[in-house]
A and B are shown apart, each in its own frame.
Chain A
Amino acid sequence: MRLSLSSRLSVVLALLPALMVMIVVYIGATGWTVWMSLTNSRMLPNNNFVGLRQYESLFGNDRWITSVHNVVIYGVLFVSLALAVGFLLAVAIDQRVRAEDTIRSIYLYPYSMSFVVTGLVWQWLLNPSLGIQHVLRSWGFAGATFDWIVRPERAIYCLVVAGVWQASGLVMAIMLAGLRGIDDEIWKAARIDGLPKWRVYASIVIPMMGASFATAAVLLSTAVVRLYDLSVAMTNGGPGIASEVPAKFVMDHLFERANIGLATAAATTMLVTVIAVVAPYLYWRARKGDIR
């Protein structure tokens, strides 16, 4: 395509913001953060190179270890539960049920709400003295205990409950699209072969839905790494430091504890984790030709 000078200028002009954002924000800022993690910057950034010292102290930091520990627990449970719940919901809806649109709306609406709202609602529901525990006791289950949100070793599981509530609908929507994309003739063929329905799902449908599972899993995983608002709103990292997460660790050390070196080291560690999760997925999609 032959472009005159003025057309070419217009294109460049239109792409300038994107180019600037790429270079200044994404590449520049990321690079600077990585560099900061190699200095001993505290309240103000400096350029005193200290090698990997920040990483040493990072992995000797109790709060960071707890954060990583928590995000692993949260990640494994949140991703697997949301995938399972979302898939089951999608399968249920796919059975040609009545009021499908309404049901789908109910499953999906939490996804439209912010993590702050999600966190505050569940904080209230899980409140030991007035929440669900209280309801169960008032119904006569005198010994019922559901006080995980105030028990340090259990608090992180409360975040999982809230997170799954918020995100399962998204998985359901992705899975439903995948299920609806399966050729009707496969179902006809399976019926002629006399396969029971669960068998068709287990042996034929799930293997065909690899792309849907991968997409959903990557989306959920990036949400795990970004986990911040939910922890802030629901438990504020507590009780104590029991439900701290890495993103919160970075924010707190940047803005409250004035330890830029440590915070950027933590951020860089997050980056490495994300690359480890996302790179194979992007590679796979690029090979499929989705992203050119």
Chain B
Amino acid sequence: MTVLAEPLPAARRRRARMTPARWGLYAFILISALYFLLPLYVMVVTSLKPMAEIRQGNLLALPVSPSIDAWVTAWASACTGLTCQGIKVGFFNSVRILLPSVFISILVGSLTGYALSLWRVRGASILFGAMMVVAFIPYQLFIYPLVRVFAFTGLGQSLLTIVIIHTIFGLPTMTLLFRNYFTSLPPELFKAARVDGAGFYQIYARIMMPMATPMIVVAVILQTTGIWNDFILGLVFAGRDNLPMTVQLNNIVNSTQGERAYNVDMAATLLTALLPLLVYFGSGRWFVRGIAAGAVKG
């Protein structure tokens, strides 16, 4: 994973004087930054405009009479196909899916990574290698058999099902993350714990996991954004009553009959993007570490 080390503060070349080349550089940076910011800006201003202003005005113009009506509608009363209770239903579904999924997937992943890294058991490297390979297989290969398996076990589409599904598909990345971390620790630490007589779970719970706090943070960021942003798994496995926010959002925007309320659409979109954005801007460099660590899977 050396390729993906976290970018270090560039401390090497001194800051150059403002030559024409530097002006060009800054112009490039500015223009590209605008390209990346444009959609976010448009989302925000659109969500604050009344429909009349959207129809007559300019996409890029600031709202003349800003209002948060669209946000209220999007949250509480926008229609997702049959019901009109807004995106809040999806929001709470996503929260209910997110919390247990993040916790369980990290628990199982860290335990697997721990067992595979420190306890050299026969076949461990084969299992790990296989997990890294299958992580690349598209979901489409598993979805139908899994639907059948869950139908057969009686779980069907449910909250529990989607939590298990997120644990399963998070397993390779989580395992990789923790395995690499535990492998990087001095092996003597593990030996000392063994001499001290600590058993498998004691070493895991009392020595390794307290040390792995940075990895846990990375794992939480990775799983939170990943699970929150998931669409396809939630659509297939969560069931009608637990559809996550992404699915509800798509329903609100793309299944509207009659005239579309773009301001409500954009407010709902922003609401859906809010949590990942908060995680992203709140976590700073940790996010980069997270995607670097998860990069092998992607």
Interchain CA distance A230-B236 in the complex, whole Å: 16
> Which residues of A have CB within 8 Å of B125?
292
In the complex, what residue of chain B is closest to A292 when comparing beta carbons? B125
Rounded to whole Å, the gap between the CB of B20 and the closest CB of chain A is 14
Q: Is A77 among interface residues, defined by CB-CB distance under 8 A?
A: no
Q: Is A159 among interface residues, defined by CB-CB distance under 8 A?
A: no
CB within 8 Å for A33 and B39 given contacts A94-B10, A170-B291: no
Rounded to whole Å, the gap between the CB of A191 and the closest CB of chain B is 9
Interchain CA distance A28-B141 in the complex, whole Å: 10
- A-side interface residues toward B, CB under 8 Å? 1, 3, 6-8, 10-12, 14-15, 17-19, 21-22, 24-30, 32-33, 36, 45, 85, 88-89, 92-98, 100-101, 103-117, 120-125, 130-132, 134-135, 138, 165, 168-170, 173-174, 176-178, 180-181, 184, 187, 211-212, 215, 218-219, 222-223, 225-226, 228-229, 232-233, 236, 246-247, 250-251, 254-255, 260, 263-264, 266-268, 270-271, 274, 278, 282, 286, 290-292
In the complex, what residue of chain B is closest to A174 when comparing beta carbons? B4
Rounded to whole Å, the gap between the CB of B247 and the closest CB of chain A is 8
Main secondary structure of the interface of A (DSSP, over half): helix
Contact A113 B199 (CB under 8 A): no
CB within 8 Å for A95 and B25 given contacts A30-B142, A113-B229, A254-B144: yes
Contact A25 B142 (CB under 8 A): yes
1/0 contact string of B199-236 vs chain A (CB within 8 Å): 11100100000000000000000000100111110001
Interchain CA distance A227-B290 in the complex, whole Å: 22
- Given A18-B108, A94-B10, A114-B246, 9 more A-B residue pairs with CB atoms under 8 Å apart are A14-B115, A92-B29, A95-B13, A112-B276, A117-B229, A117-B249, A117-B273, A180-B8, A229-B231
Contact A26 B140 (CB under 8 A): no
> Which residues of B have CB within 8 Å of A225?
138
Contact B295 A274 (CB under 8 A): no
How many of B's residues come within 8 Å of A, CB to CB? 108
In the complex, what residue of chain A is closest to B115 when comparing beta carbons? A14
Contact B168 A108 (CB under 8 A): no
CB within 8 Å for A97 and B112 given contacts A32-B145, A117-B249: no
Q: Is B254 among interface residues, defined by CB-CB distance under 8 A?
A: yes
Contact B281 A105 (CB under 8 A): yes
1/0 contact string of B121-133 vs chain A (CB within 8 Å): 1001101111111
Q: Is B2 among interface residues, defined by CB-CB distance under 8 A?
A: yes
> Which residues of B have CB within 8 Å of A219?
295, 298
CB within 8 Å for A107 and B137 given contacts A117-B273, A229-B231, A291-B132: no
Contact B127 A15 (CB under 8 A): yes
Q: Is B280 among interface residues, defined by CB-CB distance under 8 A?
A: yes
Contact A113 B291 (CB under 8 A): no
Rounded to whole Å, the gap between the CB of B293 and the closest CB of chain A is 12
Interchain CA distance A57-B226 in the complex, whole Å: 36
Q: Is B192 among interface residues, defined by CB-CB distance under 8 A?
A: no
Rounded to whole Å, the gap between the CB of A14 and the closest CB of chain B is 4
Contact B262 A124 (CB under 8 A): yes
> Which residues of A have CB within 8 Å of B38?
125
Contact B138 A109 (CB under 8 A): no
In this complex, the member of B58, B199, B291 whose beta carbon has the largest number of chain A beta carbons within 10 angstroms is B291
Q: Which of B54, B138, B167 contacts A130 (CB 8 A)?
A: B54
Contact A22 B134 (CB under 8 A): yes
What are 15 A-B contacts defined by CB distance under 8 Å?
Answer: A10-B201, A11-B200, A12-B121, A18-B171, A22-B127, A93-B29, A100-B10, A116-B231, A120-B265, A124-B46, A232-B250, A236-B254, A267-B138, A282-B133, A291-B128
Contact B225 A112 (CB under 8 A): yes
